[in-house]
Structure 1
Amino acid sequence: MAIIKGTARADILIGTAQADQFYVNHAGDTIIGGNSQDQVLSTLASYELPPGLGSLVLSTGADIGIGNDLANRIGGNQRNNLLDGGAGQDELTGGSGRTCSASAMQDRPMPTSCRTSRSASTRSPSTAQRSAWRLGLLWATS
């Protein structure tokens, strides 16, 4: 496995034939040669997996993770994340933040992973949650 990191500027990150780990920290970063076994770790506020890549993990500072047409694995972080698998049979796992969502009914939201050590919230849904429900998203809150 190759670990491929960008600089603070826009970079072209070139993968190998094996499963690679790409660190994306600039909106201008481009990944070339990735495959479905590759993993992207992103610090961007929002990141959408390019076609052909299968896994995304949101690192510190990231809030939104969006998949592609593959069966993606998307993992959240300590923040309140919005995870959208896109098309495909996706596995979405929230981190220690309070919220996690899945799009499209064919996705498999991982509700136990979306829960935190906090007790269940009794507050009414937020505007973002109500909007997500209207758009057909599933939203689990702990």
Structure 2
Amino acid sequence: MSIEDRLSALGLSLPDAPAPAANYVPFVRSGDLLHVSGQISQDENGLIKGKLGDTVSVEDGAAAARRCALSLLAQVRAACEGDLSRLIRVVKLTGFVNSTPDFTDQPKVINGASDLLVEVLGDAGRHARSAVSAGSLPLGVAVEIDGVFEIR
């Protein structure tokens, strides 16, 4: 089953690849590795904002991380000129969680992205990962995730 078919079977679709908001590029390819810039939490209603440990629950944070994962895949699709079959595997994610100083469930939040990538890609979605706290994130979003992907 293709990645697009798997997404469809899960009732998911990829957004358009978000444009950079500052002086950087959305992705850089080096050899077989594709480094995708941080994707912020947003959905069809706009930015998903808030602070974990205060205004955002762990469950809502995980849902925001899932949206980041979809944006990461959208950037991979753009880098591969629309051909997601060129994606070999997810290598590494770094997840940033906008959270209070006493919040310690960053891994549970970023699991939203990790779980989605495994649902969609199977073993090719398993990856190394960091999940860290941030005192704030751009535009007040709840989650930002960047990634490294192996492509053909």
Structure possessing the higher relative contact order (Cα contacts under 8 Å, 6 or more residues apart): 2
Higher helix share: 2
* TM-score, normalisation: structure 2: 0.25
* TM-score, normalisation: structure 1: 0.26
Rg: which structure is higher?
1
